[in-house]
Structure 1
Amino acid sequence: MARILVASRNVKKLAELRRVLDGAGVSGLELLSLADVPSYDEAPETGATFEENALAKARDGFAATGIPCVADDSGLSVAALNGMPGVLSARWSGVHGDDEANYRLLLAQLADVPDERRGAAFVSACALVGGAGETVVRGEWPGAIARAPRGAGGFGYDPIFIPEGSSRSAAELSPAEKDAASHRGRALTLLVPALRALA
C-alpha cells in the first residue's frame, strides 16, 4: 500500500481527504499525518499566496520523510476587505488558531458593510510533492459573510460563512454536504488524478 503524508495534525483534514478518495473510488493509499512521522523543521508560512504556502509545506514534508506529501493552505477572502484575511486567516486576530477571536474580529470589521457587499469565498490551494513531481490545484467556495455566527459544526470561519445558494452557514452543513461543496473538497477532488497515479 502506498503511503501519503498529509502535512497537518488536523484529523478533520485527514478525514476529509479520506472521504474524497473513497468517493472517487481510490483505494490503496495509506494516509499519514504529521503525528505519524518523526518531527521535522517546518518552514514558516511566509508566502504571499495560498499556492506558495501549500507548495512550501508539501516540499518540506517530502524532503524530510521521502514520502509523497499533500499540503493545503486555505483561508477566507472577503471582497470588502480587498481579499483579506487571505493567507492571514488563521491568525487574523493576532493569535494563531483562535477561531472565535478571528471571526469575531472579522464581523466587527464588517459591521457597517451592507448585505449586498458582504461577498466572500473560502479558498484552498492543495499541493502534492513526490518523486513524480509537483502538482498544485486551487478550489474556491463562494458565499457571503453572515451578521452573526450560526451552527456548531466545522471549524475556522464556518459559523459566519453562508455558501452561495444556501440559507445555512457552513457550520450548519453535514460533513458530506460540506465535502461536496467546500473549497478544500473541490481542490482535493482536482488532486485525485495525481493521487490515483500513486495508488
Structure 2
Amino acid sequence: MQIQSPVVFTIPLFGGIPVTMTVVVEWIIMAVLIVAASAVTKGWKLVPEGTQNMVELIIEGFNKFVENSLGEYWKDYTPYLGTVAAFLILANTISIFGLAPPTKDISATSALALMSIITVVIATIRARGVKGYAKYFFKSPINFFINVLDLFTRPLSLATRLFGNIFAAVTIMGLIERAVPIVLPAVFSIYFDLFDGLLQMLVFVFLTMLYIQEAIEE
C-alpha cells in the first residue's frame, strides 16, 4: 500500500506545482457537493415535499445535534461543522466508487485538523475577547505550557486518528481483495468502506464540536 499520494500532473507556475491524486479526488468531492447542493435546493417550495422534505429533516436533525452541545452559539458553527461532515462522508467512503480516499493521506487530514483548531481559537477569542484570551493563555507558566501543548496535540490527534483509521481500512480491504477477490470484499466493504468511514466522520465532527464547546463554556 502506497502511503505517498502520486502526482497526477504539474501546474506550470512558480517552477511547477505538483497536483497529487489526493488533491484531484478532493476537487471531485467538492464539485459533487456543489452540484448536489445546487440540484437539491433548486425549486424549493414553502411546503416541503419529496427530496426537499428528506433534506430538511437531515439538516434539522444535524442542527439539533449541534444546538444540544453549543446552545445559543450553534448557528455560528453549524455551517462549518456541516460542511466538514458532508465532505468527510464522501472523502471517507469514496473507495466504494474505486477512488482512493483523500483522508488516507496525512496531508489532507492535517489540513482538516488545522481548520478545526483555527475555528476553536476563533471561538475562544469570540467568547473571551482578545484581552481575555491573552489573559487566559498567559495566566501562569503552567497554563501557558498546557495551552501551547493543546495547540499542537489537538490537531495532531484529530489528523492522525482520521488518517490512521482510513488508511488501515483501505489497507485491509486491499489485502482482502487480493486474497479472496470474489465474494468477501463486497461483504467487508460494508464495514471498512462504509460504516467505518461514517464512524470516523462522526468522531472528527464530534471532537471538533467538543473543543468548540469547551472554548465557549470556559
Taking CA–CA contacts closer than 8 Å with sequence separation of 6 or more, which of the two structures ends up with the larger relative contact order? Answer: 2
Larger Rg over CA atoms: 2
Write 1 or 2 for the structure with the bigger share of strand. Answer: 1
Write 1 or 2 for the structure with the bigger share of helix. Answer: 2
Give the alignment's TM-score, normalised by structure 1.
Answer: 0.31
